[in-house]
Structure 1
Amino acid sequence: MAAGGPASELIMFIVAVIVAGTVAGALTYVTTDIAHGINEHGELMADRLRTDFAIINDPQNIPVNTSTSPYTYTFYIKNIGKETIAFTSNSVQVFIDGTLIPANQLSFEDVNGDPITSLQPYEVGVIEVQPQSNLASGYHTITIVLENGVKRKLIFRIS
């Protein structure tokens, strides 16, 4: 009977070591997973902070080409970030008054009217918008969203 005591204590010790090892392994996995998530989120935030742009139109005087039907509205975009911005209908979404403008109603150009696919830092690009119908006189909102989610709004007036 004297041998049963140390044997059961040894078994309990081994079980305790196994349980402790399992808990330590699980905590290591969870901690590593959290660290990777924080790292990925930090990279995403850094990318969003390096990517920035501004709509540089005069909100009271939006250029309108009345020789097209419907009219074509011109918006100037300046890359004020440190990263190149993809500047195509696949990477930039345009909303006017909350309505998504389809890609076939948009054109992306440089200030000389030449088609471009990206905006370098501090470069100005032009988005020509030709909605299905002319915008009514009054105030409207344009929202431009980049592929990484960075967005800017401008409230503008059409006379």
Structure 2
Amino acid sequence: MASNVFSEIIIFVSVLIITAAVSGNLVTITHKLSLGINNKGEILSSKLSQDFEIINDPANVPRNSTTGITTLYVKNTGKTQIPFNGNVFTVIIDGDIKNIDSTADLNDLNGVLDPSEVGKIDVSYNNTGYHKIKVISEQGVTRTLMAEIQ
């Protein structure tokens, strides 16, 4: 009888140890999932609050034929500031990434586009005609314009 009780106690303790290990793993996994969901939520919130539009006239995108610079105008249509420099945006014309020569905030020169402010992006591109122009922010917001570069 005593050996039966002893065996049951050992099995009971073993089950408690295994249960504690499994529940510890579940707590860790749940915590990691919760952190990941929180992170994704912050990224999505940032993406939704930062928005812009390309406001060039599609029939007449300005180009300086002497310098080979095409000028794009973007307006912050989001609710938060957008850092405004060549490292924040990527410009793709007809599928090719183009060099950004300069950026300028047309309202003030603080390097940030406040909501409803307009900025200018000068791109090294000297071809005329109709082109597909895509501007991508570092947050992943993409805007496309089919336009004629003059």
Q: 1:109 aligns with which of 96, 104, 110?
A: 104
Deviation for aligned residue 1:79: 0.2
2:32 equivalent in structure 1: 33
CA gap 1:79/1:140 in 2 versus in 1, 3 angstroms: same
Q: Aligned equivalents of 1:102 and 1:115: distance in 2? A: 21
Secondary structure class of the residue paired with 1:152: strand
Secondary structure class of the residue paired with 1:30: helix
Give the TM-score, by structure 2 length. 0.91
2:50 equivalent in structure 1: 51
Whether 1:69 and 2:101 are equivalent positions in the alignment is: no
Whether 1:130 and 2:124 are equivalent positions in the alignment is: yes
Give the unaligned 5+ runs of structure 2. Answer: none
- How many percent of aligned residue pairs carry the same amino acid? 41
Whether 1:11 and 2:6 are equivalent positions in the alignment is: no
CA gap 1:116/1:130 in 2 versus in 1, 3 angstroms: farther
CA gap 1:102/1:148 in 2 versus in 1, 3 angstroms: same
Q: How many residues of Structure 1 are paired with residues of Structure 2 in the alignment?
A: 150
Give the unaligned 5+ runs of structure 1. Answer: none
Per-residue CA distance 1:76-110 (angstroms, 9 max, x = gap)? 1000111111111112111111111124xx21113
Q: 1:155 aligns with which of 138, 146, 149?
A: 146
Secondary structure class of the residue paired with 2:136: strand
* 2:128/2:148 contact within 8 Å kept: no
